[in-house]
Structure 1
């Protein structure tokens, strides 16, 4: 097999999470342009150039990746979008092993073999939080493709703006990070680092980020965050399966399909949802509300207009001070 250009193919590990027995791992392999860290001082032109570089990478389908964990090796292949994932069962924490996963691309072969590492984070407890991202924590204008596109290319992690009061609300609902929080979004994996930096910069509790697997590049950058949102339900099911003893708060917005997705979750898992918070984006269609009424009337659904309103509900209904 011919060797490819040095340092072009890289593995990006995204997730290594688990419970006391199972570990779930996810990442992708891409031909990537290495980008410098963003800055709050970057001009809109620099941000646009950075966005072009971010999306100039191309996925590497059918690449082979060797994953090493607890002195065992696993070889996985990427799908058509360069994404790979692996469930490892019977992998209880062992004192003699570090909880570190190592990744190495075996094929295509490169002159310089890149090795990546990611620490496994295991979660436990009775309650967790699952949240959307766009127009739930970060202003994205998802219902206006022109505004959304301009924001996505002209801003970076330090210049994008959060919804007012989000940091306080999320710290309250997670009890200042004591409860685990998971982010599920229709944004694509090219925004993974941006979202991580944004959460940290805005003092919003950090947690695993599960994004849409479909690869976005310069030709279809405008599709980022759009299309079908069925994958959200699948990723929520993954979390429900991985943490069967945990019940969840679900947080989203009315701009896309979060109310319908969360209603389906409640119907499928009626005893696993503690409460739903839906941030209203514009007027909520009466027809949508009527279809959701059987679920909304259960008292689990809370349509909110502000973080302050959500925090008041947490205090009055869920006794979270």
Structure 2
């Protein structure tokens, strides 16, 4: 039920995912629609929107129908938290993608006994990315303090909390030159490639729409946004930040064993440790590691010491997007 006790309409938020020609992987969440306006301004509206993002009423254990653009249909069901996951073998999915590699589908509620009005005539859009065969490389990028300044390295993360929960997403500023750089990487050395980009964050799925809106508003290339459960995000053990990103990155590398990647993160928390471990496990798939300096001297010293004797993959510590672009040109990526 909504904040003010009204009976809300239903919605399905389909997360942008990734798969292969022979594997369908779709996920999202069925919720009551709280009618959150991400462009709302004003302190009290921000408080209301923040509350609604984390107090969403999920639609549990309800059956769903998924239809692909060629008419193929599959079914699924939401779990205790309203999430759905469609993880099935398939075939010839690459024939359905557009020029940017996206397979579009429609998802709907199949339980018409739900006693409330459903938005959009019970049809919600979703997308799954399948990289083109001629992609030059892939990009796996962190979000916080890599393309969106949050201050996660600040004392007790208070700056990150204030900016994430009490700032209008339209007012959030991307790091200078990041969107332009990511488009250059997306199009590669040829300028015509469609290199896939994956955004990996430790933020909870409750912030999916918030981050999606930020990427669209600031003209970043579209790519799957990979988040984690709210329960994991709220844990006091910060080491739990690492398994989520490691799992997501490993899964991307295993899904596309013939594709090489660059890893982009920052020096603020665990990106350096995670990327070093991943590069040691998959030396033939990691082309370069780029870490932005978040302006925390002790953390940067630690990160540089971590890579002091590491020479299997090029590693560059950068202060701005121009430095990253120059290095990418020097090693032949651009």
TM-score when normalising by structure 1: 0.83
Using a 3 Å threshold, how does the CA distance of structure 1 residues 109 and 276 change in structure 2: closer, same or farther?
farther
8 A contact 1:7–1:110 mirrored in 2: no
Q: How does 1:20-169 map to 2 (within 5 A)?
A: 20-38=21-39, 42-69=41-68, 71-93=71-93, 99-106=103-110, 109-111=113-115, 112=117, 114-124=122-132, 125-144=135-154, 145-169=157-181
Of stretches 242-251 and 57-66 in structure 1, the one that deviates more from structure 2 is 57-66
* 1:268 equivalent in structure 2: 281
Q: Offset at 1:72? A: 4.5
For residue 29 of structure 1, give the secondary structure of its aligned residue in structure 2.
strand
Q: What are the ranges of 5 or more consecutive residues in structure 1 without an aligned counterpart?
A: none
Deviations 1:136-163, CA, capped at 9 Å, x for gaps = 0001111232111111122222100111
Of stretches 94-103 and 304-313 in structure 1, the one that deviates more from structure 2 is 94-103
Deviations 1:260-293, CA, capped at 9 Å, x for gaps = 1111211221100111101122123545544443
2:330 paired with 1:316: yes
Rounded to whole Å, the distance in 2 between the matches of 1:165 and 1:47 is: 28
2:316 paired with 1:306: no
Rounded to whole Å, the distance in 1 between the matches of 2:302 and 2:56 is: 42
8 A contact 2:267–2:300 mirrored in 1: no
Using a 3 Å threshold, how does the CA distance of structure 1 residues 135 and 16 change in structure 2: closer, same or farther?
closer
8 A contact 1:166–1:307 mirrored in 2: yes
* 1:239 equivalent in structure 2: 252
Q: Offset at 1:185? A: 0.7
Q: Offset at 1:227? A: 5.0
2:208 paired with 1:192: yes
* 1:19 equivalent in structure 2: 20
Rounded to whole Å, the distance in 1 between the matches of 2:263 and 2:206 is: 24
Of stretches 45-54 and 225-234 in structure 1, the one that deviates more from structure 2 is 225-234
Q: Offset at 1:10? A: 3.2
Using a 3 Å threshold, how does the CA distance of structure 1 residues 216 and 48 change in structure 2: closer, same or farther?
farther
Rounded to whole Å, the distance in 1 between the matches of 2:239 and 2:10 is: 27
Q: CA RMSD in A?
A: 3.2
8 A contact 1:136–1:253 mirrored in 2: yes
Q: Offset at 1:97? A: 11
8 A contact 2:97–2:130 mirrored in 1: no
Higher helix share: 2
